[in-house]
């Protein structure tokens, strides 16, 4: 049975054989069996970002199609439009289900990142803490925004001008909160993996952050321009359709930065998984040989073959060669 031991704030599963006394730092990958908490967290977070991109595509495309069909149906209604709307509704529901899956994956990933925040040094630990705080700030901003949008305005039938003014004010409030929540979420995504990325991917992270802010600001400015320049009460069907399409297109552009974030998270995961960056020695005191003096047992392991590159004996459960570091494509648990 492999030995599991809590080190720092993360739980790492070690191979059946503990490192000998005085192994020093950095450790060999052979002494870690399974995944680090950070490794698992990055995997789930990157999956969450990937599913979010797919979900946004489904929702935005479905909403655009539904708006076009619904508004065109005002002028020329037909029975075929109802069946088309049902199919589009299924597409949007699929996107909403993926959003729920994204929430689950991100909660799991954040929990694992928090458990393993000390695995890669104090700078990474500090950034993970900041990222989690920013995620909480994002949630608070979104909840407050939703509560404010529940406010009832004037009756549009009796006070159309007052209702239009109310809509404009609501849009400004919603836009400001959306802008703030976008900044909080993007900063959180950057902080969670910043110390695990190379300089090139750090620049990509900041580029994605900048793009997300620009797109959010662009949507706010365009929306305000249309709301204050256009006579909402006298808009034609064509103008209303153009306004709705522009709003949905701006919303769709918002997921573009997440494509960049996805590649950065996969990059960080690959670096951790391939042992390109080593765990920090303060998080795992046993890798300096301090724990070896406590008399951990050396349990027998079964020979599973040899390394195809250097011929070093390979044991069950090992993902990497103890001598040259070659990653085995297939291994037994």
Question: Which residue has better confidence, 237 or 65?
Answer: 65
Write out pLDDT tens, residues 274-298.
Answer: 878 877 766 654 444 434 444 333 3
Which helix (DSSP H) or strand (DSSP E) does residue 11 occupy?
A: strand 10-13
- 19 has a pLDDT exceeding 70: no
User: What average pLDDT does the segment 251-269 reach?
Assistant: 88
157 is a domain residue: yes
Question: Which residue has better confidence, 11 or 252?
Answer: 252
3-state secondary structure of 315: strand
Angle at 153 between CA 181 and CA 240, to 5 degrees: 75
- Partners of 303 in beta bridges: 315
User: What average pLDDT does the segment 305-321 reach?
Assistant: 76
pLDDT at 1: 31
State the angle between helix axes of 199-229 and 237-253 in degrees (0 to 180), rounded to the nearest 10.
Answer: 160
User: What average pLDDT does the segment 6-33 reach?
Assistant: 43
User: What average pLDDT does the segment 203-227 reach?
Assistant: 84
260 is a domain residue: yes
In whole angstroms, give the CA distance from residue 12 to residue 34. Answer: 8
Strands 10-13 vs 303-306: parallel, antiparallel or unpaired = unpaired
Structure tokens at 245: 């399409």
Q: Which residues contact 235 (CB under 8 A, 6 or more apart)?
A: 243
User: What average pLDDT does the segment 123-139 reach?
Assistant: 93
pLDDT more than 90, % of the chain: 27
pLDDT at 110: 95
pLDDT at 10: 38
Confidence of residue 70 (pLDDT cuts 50, 70, 90): low
Confidence of residue 325 (pLDDT cuts 50, 70, 90): confident
User: What average pLDDT does the segment 256-265 reach?
Assistant: 93
Range 44-64 burial, b when 16+ CB lie within 10 A, else e: bbbbbbbbbbebbebbbbbbb
- Cβ atoms within 10 Å, residue 96: 13
- 93 has a pLDDT exceeding 90: no
318 is a domain residue: no
pLDDT at 140: 93
Write out pLDDT tens, residues 29-47.
Answer: 555 556 788 999 999 999 9
29 is a domain residue: no
Q: Which domain holds residue 93?
A: 37-273
- 54 has a pLDDT exceeding 50: yes
pTM above 0.75, yes or no: no
pLDDT at 306: 80
Lowest-confidence range among 23-27, 60-64, 209-213?
23-27
329 is a domain residue: no
pLDDT at 15: 40
18 is a domain residue: no
pLDDT at 275: 79
User: What average pLDDT does the segment 129-153 reach?
Assistant: 88
1 is a domain residue: no
- 164 has a pLDDT exceeding 50: yes
92 is a domain residue: yes
pLDDT at 241: 59
pLDDT at 206: 95
3-state secondary structure of 82: helix
Structure tokens at 57: 């595509």
Our count of domains for the chain comes to: 1
Q: In whole numbers, what is the pLDDT of the chain averaged over residues?
A: 75
């Amino acid at each position: 049975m492999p030995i599991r031991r809590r080190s720092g704030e993360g739980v790492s599963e070690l191979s059946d054989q503990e490192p000998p006394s005085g192994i020093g730092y950095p450790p060999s990958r052979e002494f870690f069996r399974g995944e680090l908490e950070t490794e698992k967290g990055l995997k789930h977070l990157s999956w969450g970002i990937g599913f979010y991109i797919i979900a946004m595509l489904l929702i935005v495309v479905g909403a655009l199609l539904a708006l076009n069909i619904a508004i065109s149906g005002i002028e020329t209604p037909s029975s075929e439009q109802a069946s088309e709307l049902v199919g589009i509704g299924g597409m949007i529901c699929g996107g909403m289900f993926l959003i729920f899956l994204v929430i689950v994956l991100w909660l799991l990933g954040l929990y694992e990142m928090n458990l393993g925040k000390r695995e890669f040094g104090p700078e990474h630990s500090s950034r993970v803490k900041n990222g989690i705080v920013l995620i909480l700030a994002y949630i608070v901003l979104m909840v407050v925004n939703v509560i404010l949008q529940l406010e009832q305005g004037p009756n549009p039938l009796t006070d159309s001008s007052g209702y239009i003014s109310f809509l404009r004010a609501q849009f400004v409030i919603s836009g400001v909160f959306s802008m703030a929540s976008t900044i909080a979420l993007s900063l959180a995504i950057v902080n969670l993996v910043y110390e695990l990325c190379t300089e090139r991917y750090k620049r990509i992270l900041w580029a994605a952050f900048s793009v997300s802010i620009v797109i959010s600001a662009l949507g706010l400015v365009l929306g305000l321009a249309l709301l204050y320049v256009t006579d909402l009460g006298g808009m034609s069907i064509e103008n209303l359709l153009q306004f709705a399409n522009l709003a949905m297109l701006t919303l769709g552009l918002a997921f573009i930065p997440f494509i960049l974030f996805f590649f950065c998270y996969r990059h960080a995961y690959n670096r951790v998984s391939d042992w390109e960056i080593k765990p920090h020695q303060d998080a795992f005191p046993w890798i300096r040989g301090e724990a070896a003096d406590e008399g951990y047992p050396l349990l027998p392991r079964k020979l599973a073959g040899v390394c195809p590159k250097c011929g070093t004996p390979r044991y069950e459960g090992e993902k990497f060669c103890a001598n040259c570091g070659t990653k085995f494509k297939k291994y037994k648990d």
